[in-house]
Amino acid sequence: MRILVVEDEFKTADYLRKGLSESGYLVEVALNGLDGQHLIQESEFDLIILDVMLPGIDGWQLLQIVRRRAQTPVLFLTARDAVEDRVKGLELGADDYLVKPFSYAELLARVRTLLRRGPPREVEQFKVADLEMDLLRRRVSRNGERLTLTNKEFALLHLLLSREGEVLSRAQIASQVWQMNFDSDTNVVDVAIRRLRAKVDDPFQPKLIHTVRGMGYLLEVPE
Amino acid sequence: MSLMPRSLSLRLALMFALVGTLLLGAIGFYLYQSLEREIAWRDDQALLGRLERMRALLDDSDSIEALRERPQLYANMLGNRDNLLWVLGSGGQPLIEINPARLAIPHLPLDHDPQLDDLNTEARLAWMHIARPGGALTLIAGRLLAEREQMLAAYRMKLWLALATGALLAFLLGWLVSERGLRPVRQLTRRALAIDAQHLHLRIEDAGELSELRELSNALNQMLARLEAGFSQLSRFSEDLAHEMRTPLGNLMGQTQQALRRVRSLDDYQSLLASNQEEYERLARMINNMLFLARTEQADAVVDVQTIELAEAVDQLGDYFEGIADEHGMRLLNEAAGQVRADPELLRRALANLIANALRYGEAGTSVRVGSETAGDRVVISVTNIGPVIESEHLPRLFDRFYRCDPSRAQPGDSGGLGLAIVRSIMLVHGGEVRVTSDTSGTCFALVFPR
């Protein structure tokens, strides 16, 4: 998968390149609009990450150039999250946007979603190690033992399972499980994870829910 | 008003001059009219007297001829170029004529009583008809108007001069007086000019006994008080903001420099980076909250107002806070009912901030109650907890940005003292307000929405 990053702030561009490369993507970086335009016209990409504020040709113009050629997914980055900016970007054909400063986990999640072509498949059953979830019957069991979860614990575990191996930030979890789309200065997510662990992980081996310090949580079978 | 000069004293002087001219003109006009009437009346009396005298002379004399021979009898009328005298016979032929201006003999209606009339604009005439044994006679006495006209013209001239001088004097005096009268205003200006951003604590002293200026200076002082309050809040806010940002930055710099002093283990680096990440998040959160506040405080903030079922909205928050409440050994009671018109996202944010606070400061074993009440044109949503009483001195400032009752109680997880400021600005964009009361029976935050 080839990703083009057009970003004039060198440090941002650099860590995006490193991070996305580590996640297995082929990354090209353009540090200004002109180079970006050149790369867009010369080669094919599966995803373009565009900064809006660029010297020379700005992100909006590049977006139009991209749209004239192909339906390559575009994720735009903006420092100003004024409503008009977002609306403008989406109207011009961007597929998603992120407001700076954004968390890297969030960016990675968006990139994955955009690259996952077509609608996400409806999975009805999950199985990770000996943990099983049946969505239709709303049942969770581990090591064959049925677990009793509250609605929100179920929703939280479902989120972690459907993004297995992906780090989810606290904000993402709060937004997806409780529709809390703002920062509420509480450790609600940590508490909820702790309680979920008490039921799902504490009595069993191996541990599946992991804390990634400074980033969030993920569910995976430890290597 | 565009024709008027910009200076107030000049304007007043012009008005004084206008009023003065009008008054003087009216008086002058009146005096002139009375003088003119008086002179005309006297002249008429003199003419009538002359007629009488002529008649007496005629009665005394035997004949006209005899009278004609003795002009000294009516000599007082001669030698004066203004006087006219005719004695006409029954055929209209002049028997006696004193007519230095060489006027034509006028044709006058016959009447036995003395008559008065103007002869064109040249002369004033009095005449009478007398029957005599030797034939009827017509006596005409007259006076040329030229002299009177001359005199009145001179008088008019003097009046115009007086009027012009008066207007000029009124203007000058008016200007002086208003210059003097406006001196307190200039003093007020000087005092007001002395007050700038560095001297907002200064006030304009009482402007003496001038009631109009006292009102003005009072109004200015009130405005200054409001400005000073806003200004000091703003500068305190900037200071607080800088201070709040300095703490995470200090941590970042300090621990990074400390770590870089020598080579550390991989674990140390990882934990340093993770700790840094926490500080970055704190900064990002603060910036996001600041941006949110700035945006809701803009005059054109967009609010997506909908009708919200309160019980449902609070239930949703109850789900969210359930775990935390449990850990604190507390319960969240949803006693809210009814509807409110508000932006759902903003209402949720305000309530979440209040509930988070209520749980943070509540006593273990107690409940946080979220209730609602519809009173008149308002819907009041309250969040009550039982915990330490907030001193009444803190209550009014609780919603200021970065305000903390106890500065040492800043918690790493909190929004750096912006939570309640956000609640207040959310209420302001809804045209409502937030109130707080605190005593031993509990601390109650009330969101007051207009219906």
Which sequence spans correspond to the domains of chain A?
2-115, 125-219
Decide if pLDDT at B447 tops 90: yes
Contact present, B29 and B19 (Cβ < 8 Å):
no
Cα–Cα nearest to B445, from B367, B382, B403: B382
* In-domain check, residue B248: yes
Helix (H) or strand (E) holding A75: strand A74-78
* In-domain check, residue B199: no
Residue written as tokens 């004097």? B169
Q: Does B320 touch chain A (CB under 8 A)?
A: yes
What would the CATH number be for the domain defined by A2-115?
3.40.50.2300
Regarding whether B142 and B20 lie in a shared domain, the answer is yes
Regarding whether B155 and B16 lie in a shared domain, the answer is yes
B77 pLDDT band, cuts 50/70/90, is low
**What per-residue confidence (pLDDT) applies to B75?**
63
Cα–Cα nearest to B292, from B415, B167, B200: B415
Q: Does B288 touch chain A (CB under 8 A)?
A: yes
Regarding whether B414 and B363 lie in a shared domain, the answer is yes
Among the partner-chain residues A185, A195, A214, the one whose CB lies closest to the CB of B414 is A185
Chain A residues close to B321, C-beta within 8 Å: 186, 188
Regarding whether B119 and B165 lie in a shared domain, the answer is yes
CB contact under 8 A, B349 and A184: yes
B206 pLDDT band, cuts 50/70/90, is low
CA distance A167 to chain B (A): 14
CA distance B320 to chain A (A): 6
Question: Mean per-residue pLDDT for B166-185?
Answer: 88
Chain A residues close to B291, C-beta within 8 Å: 81
Question: Mean per-residue pLDDT for B371-381?
Answer: 90
B293 pLDDT band, cuts 50/70/90, is confident
Final residue in a domain of this structure, among B242, B270, B297: B297
CA distance A168 to chain B (A): 15
Regarding whether B285 and B330 lie in a shared domain, the answer is no
Q: Show Cβ contacts of residue B308 under 8 Å, excluding neighbours closer than 6 positions.
A: B339, B340, B341, B342, B344, B347
Distance CA A104, CA B1 (A): 66
Q: Does B296 touch chain A (CB under 8 A)?
A: no
Q: What is the pLDDT of residues B412-439, one digit of tens each?
A: 445 567 888 999 999 988 989 999 999 8
Chain B residues close to A150, C-beta within 8 Å: 322
* In-domain check, residue B1: no
Q: Does B353 touch chain A (CB under 8 A)?
A: yes
**What per-residue confidence (pLDDT) applies to A99?**
83
Chain A residues close to B284, C-beta within 8 Å: 101
**What are B433's strand-pairing partners?**
B448
| pLDDT > 90 in chain B, percent | 28
**What per-residue confidence (pLDDT) applies to B406?**
65
Distance CA B404, CA B245 (A): 16
| pLDDT > 70 in chain B, percent | 93
Contact present, A209 and A217 (Cβ < 8 Å):
yes
Chain A CA closest to residue B302: A83
- Tell which wins on pLDDT, B46 or B79: B46
CA distance A80 to chain B (A): 10
**What per-residue confidence (pLDDT) applies to B412?**
47
Regarding whether B91 and B59 lie in a shared domain, the answer is yes
- Cβ neighbours, 10 Å, residue A206: 9
Contact present, B336 and B371 (Cβ < 8 Å):
yes
**What are B385's strand-pairing partners?**
B443
B34 pLDDT band, cuts 50/70/90, is very high
- Tell which wins on pLDDT, A29 or B284: A29
Q: Does B349 touch chain A (CB under 8 A)?
A: yes
**What per-residue confidence (pLDDT) applies to B80?**
65
- Greatest mean pLDDT among A8-22, B67-81, B216-230: A8-22
Among the partner-chain residues B291, B302, B352, the one whose CB lies closest to the CB of A184 is B352
CB contact under 8 A, A188 and B349: no
Regarding whether B160 and B23 lie in a shared domain, the answer is yes
Cα–Cα nearest to A19, from A108, A110, A97: A108
Which of A74-88, B32-46, B187-201, B285-299 is predicted least confidently? A74-88
Decide if pLDDT at A197 tops 90: yes
Q: Does B323 touch chain A (CB under 8 A)?
A: yes
Q: Is residue A97 classed as helix, strand or coil in its secondary structure? A: strand
CA separation, residue A91 to residues A40, A60, A63, A155, B421 (Å): 20, 10, 11, 33, 34
Which of A132-136, B203-207, B213-217, B396-400 is predicted least confidently? B203-207
CA distance A184 to chain B (A): 6
Question: Mean per-residue pLDDT for B369-385?
Answer: 91
Q: What is the pLDDT of residues B134-172, one digit of tens each?
A: 778 888 888 888 888 888 899 999 999 999 999 999 999
Range of the domain at B252: 211-297
Regarding whether B18 and B148 lie in a shared domain, the answer is yes
Cα–Cα nearest to A46, from A26, A68, A61: A26
**What per-residue confidence (pLDDT) applies to A194?**
93
Chain A residues close to B281, C-beta within 8 Å: 214
Q: Does A109 touch chain B (CB under 8 A)?
A: no
Q: Does A101 touch chain B (CB under 8 A)?
A: yes
Q: Does B419 touch chain A (CB under 8 A)?
A: yes
* In-domain check, residue B201: no
A129 pLDDT band, cuts 50/70/90, is confident
Q: Show Cβ contacts of residue B213 under 8 Å, excluding neighbours closer than 6 positions.
A: B184, B185, B188, B207
- Greatest mean pLDDT among A149-158, B190-199, B219-228: A149-158
**What per-residue confidence (pLDDT) applies to B38?**
93
**What per-residue confidence (pLDDT) applies to A82?**
66
Q: Does A188 touch chain B (CB under 8 A)?
A: yes
Decide if pLDDT at B78 tops 70: no
**What per-residue confidence (pLDDT) applies to B76?**
62
**What are A75's strand-pairing partners?**
A49, A96
Q: Show Cβ contacts of residue B392 under 8 Å, excluding neighbours closer than 6 positions.
A: B438
Residue B151's domain is classified under what CATH number?
3.30.450
* In-domain check, residue B237: yes
CB contact under 8 A, B413 and A101: no
- Tell which wins on pLDDT, B96 or A25: A25
A92 pLDDT band, cuts 50/70/90, is confident
In a mutational test of the B interface, the residue from A86, A185, A195 whose CB has the highest number of chain B CBs within 10 Å is A185
Q: Does A83 touch chain B (CB under 8 A)?
A: yes
**What are B411's strand-pairing partners?**
none
**What per-residue confidence (pLDDT) applies to A158?**
93
Regarding whether B33 and B142 lie in a shared domain, the answer is yes
B229 pLDDT band, cuts 50/70/90, is confident
Label each residue of chain B as H, E or C: CCCCCCCHHHHHHHHHHHHHHHHHHHHHHHHHHHHHHHHHHHHHHHHHHHHHHHHHHHHHCCCHHHHHHCHHHHHHHCCCCCEEEEEECCCCCEEEEECCCCCCCCCCCCCCCCEEEEECCCEEEEEEEECCCCCCEEEEEEEECHHHHHHHHHHHHHHHHHHHHHHHHHHHHHHHHHHHHCHHHHHHHHHHHCCCHHHCCCCCCCCCCCHHHHHHHHHHHHHHHHHHHHHHHHHHHHHHHHHHHHHHHHHHHHHHHHHHCCCCCHHHHHHHHHHHHHHHHHHHHHHHHHHHHHHHHCCCCCCCCEEEEHHHHHHHHHHHHHHHHHHCCCEEEEECCCEEEECHHHHHHHHHHHHHHHHHHCCCCCEEEEEEEEECCEEEEEEEECCCCCCCCCHHHCCCCCCCCCHHHCCCCCCCCCHHHHHHHHHHHCCCEEEEEEECCEEEEEEEEEC
CA distance B219 to chain A (A): 39
Q: Show Cβ contacts of residue B412 under 8 Å, excluding neighbours closer than 6 positions.
A: B278, B282
* In-domain check, residue B3: no
- Tell which wins on pLDDT, A117 or B246: B246
Chain A CA closest to residue B351: A184
What would the CATH number be for the domain defined by A125-219?
1.10.10.10
CB contact under 8 A, A215 and B277: yes
**What per-residue confidence (pLDDT) applies to B146?**
84
Final residue in a domain of this structure, among B245, B268, B297: B297
Chain B CA closest to residue A170: B281
Decide if pLDDT at B407 tops 80: no
CB contact under 8 A, B320 and A180: yes
Q: Is residue A115 classed as helix, strand or coil in its secondary structure? A: helix
Give B 176-235 residues with CB within 8 A of chain A: none
Question: Mean per-residue pLDDT for B351-365?
Answer: 91
**What per-residue confidence (pLDDT) applies to B61?**
75
Regarding whether B380 and B341 lie in a shared domain, the answer is yes
**What are A184's strand-pairing partners?**
none
Regarding whether B267 and B328 lie in a shared domain, the answer is no
Q: Order the strands of the B331-335 sheet from edge to edge.
A: B331-335, B367-375, B378-385, B442-450, B433-439
Among the partner-chain residues B285, B352, B414, the one whose CB lies closest to the CB of A180 is B352
DSSP classification of residue A121: P
How do B433-439 and B442-450 pair as beta strands?
A: antiparallel
Chain B CA closest to residue A176: B320
Which of A144-148, A168-172, A181-185, B85-89 is predicted least confidently? A181-185
HSE at residue B326, side-chain half, CA atoms within 13 A, is 12
Distance CA B401, CA A158 (A): 39
Q: What is the pLDDT of residues B67-76, one digit of tens each?
A: 777 766 666 6
Decide if pLDDT at A89 tops 80: no
**What per-residue confidence (pLDDT) applies to B266?**
92
Q: Does B297 touch chain A (CB under 8 A)?
A: no
Decide if pLDDT at B392 tops 80: yes
Confidence (pTM): 0.64
Q: In the structure encoding, which two tokens stand for residue B436, read together? A: 């707080």
Distance CA B291, CA B413 (A): 19
Question: Mean per-residue pLDDT for B110-123?
Answer: 79
CB contact under 8 A, A182 and B276: no
Q: Domain total for chain B?
A: 3
**What per-residue confidence (pLDDT) applies to B325?**
92
Chain B residues close to A194, C-beta within 8 Å: 323
Final residue in a domain of this structure, among B297, B322, B345: B297
Q: Does A175 touch chain B (CB under 8 A)?
A: no
Regarding whether B75 and B49 lie in a shared domain, the answer is yes
The rounded mean pLDDT for chain B is 84
- Give this complex's ipTM: 0.76
Chain B residues close to A181, C-beta within 8 Å: 345
Decide if pLDDT at B309 tops 90: yes
Q: What is the pLDDT of residues A41-65, one digit of tens each?
A: 888 899 999 988 888 788 888 888 8
Question: Mean per-residue pLDDT for B353-381?
Answer: 91
Residue B226's domain is classified under what CATH number?
1.10.287
**What per-residue confidence (pLDDT) applies to B32?**
92
Q: Is residue A132 classed as helix, strand or coil in its secondary structure? A: strand
- Tell which wins on pLDDT, B173 or B206: B173
Chain A residues close to B352, C-beta within 8 Å: 180, 182, 184, 186
